[in-house]
Amino acid sequence: MGRKKLDRREFKANVAPETPDRLHAIARSVGLKYGEGGNIGGLLDLIAKRGQVSDLAGKSFLIVPLDIETSE
């Protein structure tokens, strides 16, 4: 029996050459792992669900609470 199929959508984005590696590193650093790399999809889901934009001294910051459950 296979794993439960998640309700997912796929999208593509054109990014700088170093962006995927950096996103993998960020995802791994916050505990979102997929094999040896970081779970970029999980990172984007976390940002979309929990991220908030806040202004401080005229600059905008993205704030994402990281109290997440992780799994190896």
> 48 pairs with which residues across the strands?
none
5 pLDDT band, cuts 50/70/90, is: confident
- Is pLDDT larger for residue 69 or for residue 66? 66
CB 45 within 8 A of CB 69: no
pLDDT of residue 2: 67
Residue 72's pLDDT band (cuts 50, 70, 90): very low
Q: Are 54 and 34 in contact (CB under 8 A)?
A: no
Indicate the pTM of the whole model: 0.71
Q: What are the tens digits of pLDDT across the range 19-61? A: 999 999 999 998 888 888 889 998 998 898 888 899 988 899 8
Query: Residue 10 — pLDDT band, cuts 50, 70, 90?
Result: confident
Side-chain half-sphere CA neighbours of 16 within 13 A: 5
> If you ran DSSP here, which 8-state letter would residue 3 be given?
P
